[in-house]
Amino acid sequence: MERRFERELESLKTNLAKMGSIAEESLGIALKALLSKDEALARRVFVMEDKINMMEMEIDTAIIDLLALKQPVAGDLRFIIATQKINNDLERVGDHAVNIAESALTLQRLSAVTIPSEIHQMVEIARTMLKEALDSFILVDSALAHTVLRTDDQIDDLNRAMVQHVIEQVESQALTIEGGLELIRISRNLERIGDLSTNIAEDVIFETEARVVKHRAEQKDGN
């Protein structure tokens, strides 16, 4: 009985890690679609979203079954609660990847828009944050999770810089309003992926250190 429960926790972790790597891949493809303006790649992201949504529901059901049938306590319970929250965060990462893929398609249509350097930097940071957050979960590495928390400010600053850049470019007519809105949408989605990676890191810290670090510094939703 005890052994079986451990195997079930192991399998939950494996499934969440799998979902994490699909969410990461989906984001990677969306970003590649964006930077290369590749329509077929963008469409692959929409297919992956269905897969991610299905996995989220499966993992959620598995978690509720574990809570109901095994009635876990202490560390196991914290692990399961963290898993549940990370599952939700990864599903939202998938949604943001879809939004970026949609923007990639729109930018193909608005062919004159070049991707500014801020977005390139945000792409790198968002991917690193998500990767490190997932690694911190898999390796149960709370030091790495703390690294993710420290990175979030950078992406927030770049997001603000992007808005300023777009305002100037539209005012000087170097960019259309439609192009500008699309760049801001991309920037915001990248910033939200940074926030979600931060959420995941916070959940890892909760799991490993049994303390809540949320709302420690200000972190807004949506913007």
Interface contacts to a second copy, rule CB under 8 A: 53-54, 56-57, 60-61, 64, 67-68, 71, 73-74, 77-78, 81, 84-85, 88, 92, 95-96, 98-99, 163, 166-167, 170-171, 177-178, 180-181, 184-185, 188-189, 192, 212, 214-215, 220-223
CB of 26 to a second copy, least distance (A): 13
Structure tokens at 3: 């052994």
Nearer to a second copy, 76 or 135 (CB): 76
Query: Nearer to a second copy by C-beta: 121 or 169?
Result: 169
Of the two residues 88 and 147, which places its CB atom closer to a second copy in the complex? 88
SS3 for 115? Answer: coil
Residue 144 or residue 156: which is nearer to a second copy going by CB?
156
Find out whether 31 and 127 touch, Cβ atoms under 8 Å: yes
203 closest CA partner among 53, 84, 73, 63 = 84
End-to-end CA distance of the chain: 47
Token pair for residue 9? 């926790």
Q: In the bound complex, what is the minimum distance in angstroms from residue 60's beta carbon to a second copy?
A: 7
User: In the chain, where does DSSP find H-type helix?
Assistant: 2-36, 39-70, 74-109, 117-138, 142-171, 177-209
- In contact, 129 and 197? CB cutoff 8 Å: yes
For a second copy, the closer CB: 71 or 111 = 71
